[in-house]
Homo-oligomer: A and B are copies of this chain.
């Protein structure tokens, strides 16, 4: 079935071409691996091993390159988006993904309109959701909230951010952008001059999106020449990430001087705010990046957005800007994930 090309792209910064990723892969989708994701939950980094990430990005690229709406892949499926911590980007990108594939939505944009405000337990809410939908996407201010709802919930659960825990689908979105930008990063042994010096500006231990991104980077160890974390904290990692770093051969360093390391980085990953219990801590103002920062000419900047001052708008029109393309790919990657978890891969036109 010939399909018209998809239309949406980022308006500024680098454009990322899904065909680049598809051509580099040069093989059919791994239908068995995608089918095996059916009814699984995505809570944290162990739920997304490297081969699954690559295949979801592969499928996402197919969805970005084609218009699959006419296949109605999620027809009859009902997704509950339960955002006990408010969100725009993540919630709307999941909801856009569902709507584009003709699924149905039950939206809880705010804890204040739920029984949680009256003191209902997450376990009871999980039990309730069993009867109401087919999959739950949940965000919560508390790290342990996923475990609590999981004691009652029997549906697949997708973590859209739990306190200072993880945000695994953001990491998927981030690596989808990286693999479109440089497809050989998915190779078992990328050429030496293609391997990246990755800089992370922020605190993985208390920034869930950064933590999930770094965990996923460790799973792509052959692609990472070096990892530098820029933070004013002596130990920005936290215990579980420490253990994972020690199990890889990637050289890792921490610095509090961004101007020293910036000229060496191929990829700069930034984030805006760290969760500290119920409050937020903004990124140290020294770590602001602008067009005046000493970036390599071909360096790219990633940011899960929303941003504050740390990422200057002067960069938006530059070739350093990978963050708009990163955001623009979010819907396709989440479509690939939902279609897999809901067991509807066979409805897509990419298989014979």
Chain A residues with a Cβ under 8 A of chain B: 8-12, 69-70, 76, 78, 80, 83, 86-89, 92-93, 95-96, 99-100, 104-110, 112-121, 123-125, 127-128, 130-133, 152, 154, 273, 305-308, 313, 324, 327-331
Q: Which residues of B contact A110 (CB under 8 A)?
A: 109-110, 112-113
**Are B99 and A86 in contact (CB-based, < 8 A)?**
no
**Are B113 and A105 in contact (CB-based, < 8 A)?**
no
Q: Which residues of B contact A11 (CB under 8 A)?
A: 127, 130, 152, 154
**Are B99 and A115 in contact (CB-based, < 8 A)?**
no
**Are B128 and A89 in contact (CB-based, < 8 A)?**
yes
**Are A114 and B88 in contact (CB-based, < 8 A)?**
yes
**Are A307 and B127 in contact (CB-based, < 8 A)?**
no
Query: In the assembly, what is the distance between CA of A131 and CA of B7, in Å?
Result: 9
Residue of B nearest to A272 (CB): B118
Whole-angstrom distance between the Cβ of A97 and the nearest chain B Cβ: 9
**Are B313 and A132 in contact (CB-based, < 8 A)?**
no
Q: Which of B115, B305, B306, B328 contacts A89 (CB 8 A)?
A: B115
**Are A92 and B109 in contact (CB-based, < 8 A)?**
no
Query: In the assembly, what is the distance between CA of A117 and CA of B87, in Å?
Result: 10
Q: Which of B124, B125, B132 contacts A93 (CB 8 A)?
A: B132
- 11 more contacts with CB within 8 A, not counting A88-B116, A128-B305, A132-B331, are A10-B130, A78-B96, A96-B131, A99-B105, A109-B109, A110-B112, A120-B307, A121-B313, A123-B313, A127-B324, A131-B327
Query: In the assembly, what is the distance between CA of A117 and CA of B331, in Å?
Result: 23
Q: Which residues of B contact A329 (CB under 8 A)?
A: 131
Whole-angstrom distance between the Cβ of A250 and the nearest chain B Cβ: 32
Query: In the assembly, what is the distance between CA of A76 and CA of B68, in Å?
Result: 10
Whole-angstrom distance between the Cβ of A63 and the nearest chain B Cβ: 13
Residue of B nearest to A7 (CB): B134
**Are B307 and A132 in contact (CB-based, < 8 A)?**
no
**Are A96 and B306 in contact (CB-based, < 8 A)?**
no
Residue of B nearest to A282 (CB): B119
**Are A306 and B118 in contact (CB-based, < 8 A)?**
yes
**Are A100 and B120 in contact (CB-based, < 8 A)?**
no
Whole-angstrom distance between the Cβ of A3 and the nearest chain B Cβ: 13
Whole-angstrom distance between the Cβ of A103 and the nearest chain B Cβ: 9
Query: In the assembly, what is the distance between CA of A242 and CA of B259, in Å?
Result: 55
Given A96-B106, A115-B306 in contact, is the A88-B10 Cβ separation under 8 Å? no
